[in-house]
Amino acid sequence: MSPIQEVIINKKTSINPIWIMRQAGRYLPEFREIRANNPDFIKLCLNHKLSSEITLQPLKRYNLDAAIIFSDILMVPYGINQKVEFKKNFGPLLGDLNLDKILSIQEDSFIERLKPVYKALETISNNDLTLNKSTIGFVGAPWTLMVYMINKQSPKIKLKSNFFNDQLLIKKILFILEKFLKIHIKNQVDSGAQIIQIFDSWAGLLEDKDLPYYIYNPTFNLVKFIQSLGIPVICFPRNIKDYKKYCDYIKPDAICIDYEIDPLIIRKDIKIPVQGGLDPKVLLTDKENIKKEAKRYLDIFKDHPYIFNLGHGVLPETDPNMMEYLVKTVKDY
């Protein structure tokens, strides 16, 4: 059993495994080299040789405890026939939402479109670099994916004013997303993923009254499904106001926290294993500050099952040497 599984499944507190969200990617020179020759991001995610190579790059550099597949949460909208592209200095751009086209997609066709992701996971899980480490697959939560699909771009500050107008459309999208997210998860697990993380990047956009319909119920259904496959699930509802209520309702195996929340509140309120929390901007400072901030989280969760991670993805301008220092600090704690 890998150290991360020991923490999640056996609730071990004597070890501090570490992996980093977006550990494979834009801050690494070896990734930038590949990216320069592959400007189409979706095509890069669907190049199983390159995506598996990118996934393993940080494991060649650092003593991390997991490989997380180099992919994107928007592979599911892509898989169900919505156009997805990534525009430089802007982010994702999605095509018009053609419900008839989406409703007509067959399971076989969806799996075929995303086959390279599963092939890459197979390659990674059979690589010597992932021996005694966890292979992590992931999906976007239904709410977050629906935001992108209807909004057709990142909501950043707010949603389009008419976002909630068509409740029938919302109901149909949530229904179809649940179906294909389960297919995507099952195929990742069958291809070697030992843990699934659910990213709800835009959980913080909703009012409390809207959480049960848009977040709690759809995410709970996914969590139960993943657990029925016999593997643990980590949920990351970024900027959610009440982590305790979220955990009580959804019951994930571990909860990933963002850097806006006070870790002392989490330590007091949350009984399940915790992951993350450190502000990614800390890695843009100096070694002394990195050590101080990392130690703060490690001290707070000293007697609690804890996986070290950031409270969001590693920033593109991060110096790889600072990442190395962070990993070493956590390992030496």
Per residue in 270-322, pLDDT tens? 999 999 999 999 999 999 999 999 999 999 999 999 999 999 999 999 999 99
If one counts every other C-beta atom within 10 angstroms of the C-beta of residue 316, the result is 12
Instruction: Tell me how far apart the alpha carbons of residues 20 and 323 are, in angstroms, rounded to a whole number.
Output: 9
Q: Which sign does the torsion angle of CA 209, 211, 217, 223 carry?
A: negative
User: CA 256, CA 272: separation in Å to the nearest integer?
Assistant: 11
Q: Please give the helix or strand (H or E) that residue 258 lies within, else none.
A: none
**Phi, psi torsion values for 127, nearest 5 degrees:** -90, 145
Query: Rounded to whole angstroms, how far apart are CA atoms 312 and 277?
Result: 8
CB 323 within 8 A of CB 283: yes
Indicate the range of 35-49, 79-93, 136-150 predicted with least confidence. Answer: 79-93
pLDDT more than 70, % of the chain: 99
pLDDT of residue 156: 82
pLDDT at 122: 98
The yes-or-no verdict on residue 157 having pLDDT over 70 is no
Measured between its terminal Cα atoms, the distance across the chain in Å is 21
Answer yes or no: is pLDDT of 29 > 80: yes
Residues of the domain holding 279: 3-332
Whole-number pLDDT of residue 327? 98
**What mean pLDDT is predicted for residues 33-59?**
97
What is the model's pLDDT at position 14? 96
Q: pLDDT band at 88, cuts 50/70/90?
A: confident
139: left (phi over 0), alpha (psi -120 to 50) or beta: beta
Kindly report the CATH number assigned to the domain that includes residue 25.
Answer: 3.20.20.210
- Over its C-alpha atoms, the chain yields an Rg (Å, rounded) of 19
Residue position matching structure tokens 């009440």: 242
Parallel/antiparallel/unpaired status of strands 195-200 and 233-237: parallel
- Average pLDDT, rounded, for the chain: 96
Give residue 158's pLDDT: 67
> Dihedral angle at the C-alpha atoms of 284, 286, 291, 294, nearest 10 degrees?
-10
Number of residues that make up the chain: 333
Lowest mean pLDDT among 48-52, 97-101, 114-118, 246-250: 97-101
pLDDT at 91: 87
Return all residues near 75 (Cβ < 8 A) that are at least 6 apart: 42, 45, 84, 114, 117, 184
**Measuring CA to CA, how many Å separate 267 from each of 28, 108, 263?**
33, 44, 6
SS (H, E, C) 122-157: HHHHCCHHHCCCEEEEEEECHHHHHHHHHHCECCCC
- Helix, coil or strand: residue 86: strand
The answer on pLDDT for 3 being more than 80 is: yes
Q: What is the pLDDT of residues 92-112, one digit of tens each?
A: 999 999 999 999 999 999 999
The pair phi, psi for residue 66, each rounded to 5°, is: -155, 155
Average of per-residue pLDDT across 110-128: 98
Distance CA 234, CA 130 (A): 19
Nearest to 23 by CA among 89, 79, 67, 80: 67
Q: Where are the beta strands (DSSP E) in the chain?
A: 66-68, 84-87, 91-94, 134-140, 195-200, 233-237, 254-257, 274-276, 306-307
Q: Closest by alpha carbon to 276, among 297, 290, 262?
A: 297
What pTM, to 2 d.p., does this model score? 0.97
Q: How many domains does the chain have?
A: 1
* 74 in Cβ contact with 148 (< 8 Å): yes
Query: Per mean pLDDT, which of 41-45, 86-90, 94-98, 159-163 is the most reliable?
Result: 41-45
